[in-house]
């Protein structure tokens, strides 16, 4: 049993061992081992040329990664906190996302941008954001989010091995949660990077979640089971592309769907997923697709963040509304 954070550390270590072109870059990733200690010990073992402490300049980190990728390297960039990604936003959407298309396929940018995201740790302003929709909306980027240690270990390696740029969202409040991880497993045996997975089978309704909200959805399903409702929980894992066949097959069986995420609801991923389910599964639906999201306000102060974050009660309320339709 290891924590999600330690699983990421092992996955990064294995990627560094397997490919000498993999380099890790970011603020305090070297000697400190990262704010959350995800890169702890890697600079000591692989040297300052492979695990690089950068200046406090997110645009510079991503811009440098673009140059390295063009030269054949596989940079792994850490954005220290979710709210710090915005200085690098222009580089990501104007360069990283478009270079392959702009060069007519001649140039690939195998860059991974790691972003700890979400709330629940009592952090100060700019340290608890959910910016995933910005990147999922951008053609040319792949966007994924792990929710458990086993996925963290395999998905970070798969992302680094990908020839496409990958935005890798890590649920920071789950860093210390433990799970079983097979550190000897080969990547071909892992679930494909852009596949969703049913983590709890059920027949009454489908709960769709990713990252930090998968645990909330599982807890809601356990509570609902005590009342005789077996809810199916799907961990999306990939936010762009989204594995719609798994979603559609589940919703056609259950007839109901609830999408859960921390980010605000307005123009969020839940809206796109709800629209696609309605288009493809309309005649199977027993009720409208519902969303449980963060509120459409700036992320609040730490002392009231629990009022903002979707929780078990809000998810169960949505399930009840679905059955009461």
Task: State the Cα–Cα distance between residues 32 and 53, nearest whole angstrom.
Answer: 9
**Contact indicator for 108, 72 with CB cutoff of 8 Å:** no
Q: Which two tokens stand for residue 59?
A: 């645009």
Q: Of these residues, 100, 127, 137, 261, which one is catalytic?
A: 127
Task: Please report the DSSP string for 121-184 in residue order.
Answer: S---TTSS---HHHHHTSTT-EEEE--SHHHHHHHHHHHHH-SS-EEEEEEGGGTT-EE---TT
What are the backbone angles phi and psi of residue 258, rounded to the nearest 5°?
-130, 125
What are the backbone angles phi and psi of residue 175, rounded to the nearest 5°?
-55, -35
Contacts of 5 (CB under 8 A, 6+ apart): 36, 37, 38, 175, 176
CB atoms within 10 A of CB 177: 15
Q: Is 127 annotated as catalytic?
A: yes
Residues involved in catalysis: 127
């Amino acid at each position: 049993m290891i924590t999600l954070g330690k699983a990421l550390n092992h996955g990064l270590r294995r990627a560094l061992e397997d490919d000498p072109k993999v380099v890790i870059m970011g603020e305090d990733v070297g000697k400190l081992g990262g704010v959350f200690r995800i890169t702890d010990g890697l600079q000591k073992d692989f040297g300052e040329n492979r695990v690089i402490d950068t200046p406090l300049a997110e645009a510079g980190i991503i811009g440098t990664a673009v140059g390295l990728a063009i030269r054949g390297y596989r940079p792994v960039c850490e954005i220290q906190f979710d709210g710090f990604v915005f200085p690098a936003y222009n580089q990501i959407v104007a360069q990283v996302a478009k270079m392959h298309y702009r060069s007519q396929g001649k140039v690939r940018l195998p860059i991974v941008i790691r972003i700890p995201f979400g709330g629940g740790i009592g952090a100060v302003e700019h340290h608890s954001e959910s910016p995933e929709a910005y990147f999922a909306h951008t053609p040319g980027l792949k966007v994924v989010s792990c929710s458990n240690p086993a996925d963290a270990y395999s998905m970070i390696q798969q992302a680094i091995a990908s020839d496409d740029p990958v935005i890798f969202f890590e649920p920071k409040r789950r860093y210390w949660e433990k799970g079983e991880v097979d550190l000897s497993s080969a990547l071909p045996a892992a679930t494909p990077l852009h596949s969703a997975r049913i983590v709890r089978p059920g027949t009454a309704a489908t709960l769709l979640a990713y990252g930090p909200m998968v645990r909330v959805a599982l807890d809601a399903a356990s509570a609902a089971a005590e009342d005789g409702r077996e809810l199916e929980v799907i961990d999306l894992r990939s936010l762009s592309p989204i594995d719609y066949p798994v979603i559609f097959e589940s919703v056609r069986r259950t007839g109901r769907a609830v999408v859960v995420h921390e980010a605000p609801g307005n123009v969020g991923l839940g809206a796109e997923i709800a629209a696609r389910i309605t288009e493809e599964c309309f005649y199977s639906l027993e009720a409208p697709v519902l969303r449980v999201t963060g509120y459409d306000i700036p992320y609040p102060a730490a002392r009231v963040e629990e009022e903002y974050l979707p929780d078990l009660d809000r998810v169960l309320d949505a399930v009840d509304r679905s059955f009461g339709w």
